[in-house]
Chains A and B, each alone.
Chain A
Amino acid sequence: GIQVEQSPPDLILQEGANSTLRCNFSDSVNNLQWFHQNPWGQLINLFYIPSGTKQNGRLSATTVATERYSLLYISSSQTTDSGVYFCAGMEAGTASKLTFGTGTRLQVTL
């Protein structure tokens, strides 16, 4: 199965700062999703983005499928952005399981 690596593992930002989170895949994927896990443990869908670029408010994501990586941009961070960000991919040619990365733990301070 595919391996999913996320960087950095931990990130501390001051409110208002911007950040970039990275996700690398060991093989091609046909499905790629970004999630935010809030302090209550819930997994919130951010993006379904197997390729291309999408934006949703202060968040945007870009996946370069040919180079097997995806980036999540957070602009003008707020304390409510704190939590763990996971990316997950589904190996191309398969049709079932998402393989998750180990996450980036983000803490936004005042």
Chain B
Amino acid sequence: AQTVTQSQPEMSVQEAETVTLSCTYDTSESDYYLFWYKQPPSRQMILVIRQEAYKQQNATENRFSVNFQKAAKSFSLKISDSQLGDAAMYFCGLQGGTASKLTFGTGTRLQVTL
């Protein structure tokens, strides 16, 4: 079985500041993938960033980057230069190897203030 834990139900950040969302996971797979998805209010869930566990280098996508600590089973998301459009629910996800099943955490609601 695989589990994903997001311990921060809500976070708040000021515009232009940096915020880090936490995620820890557990899996018995040696080959797996980690994802961060964003769900804006009343809008479609979209992929933010993806990390392959066999890669040591942390993934980055523009203002979004991850801190992947494999030994600690930690996968945090850092958002730099936060914008109002970053306000959303963020879900951490774990997908094992070739299996298609994706396990999500309970989500973190991010507020961005002026």
**A, B in one complex:** no
Residues of A at the B interface (CB closer than 8 Å) are none
Residues of B at the A interface (CB closer than 8 Å) are none
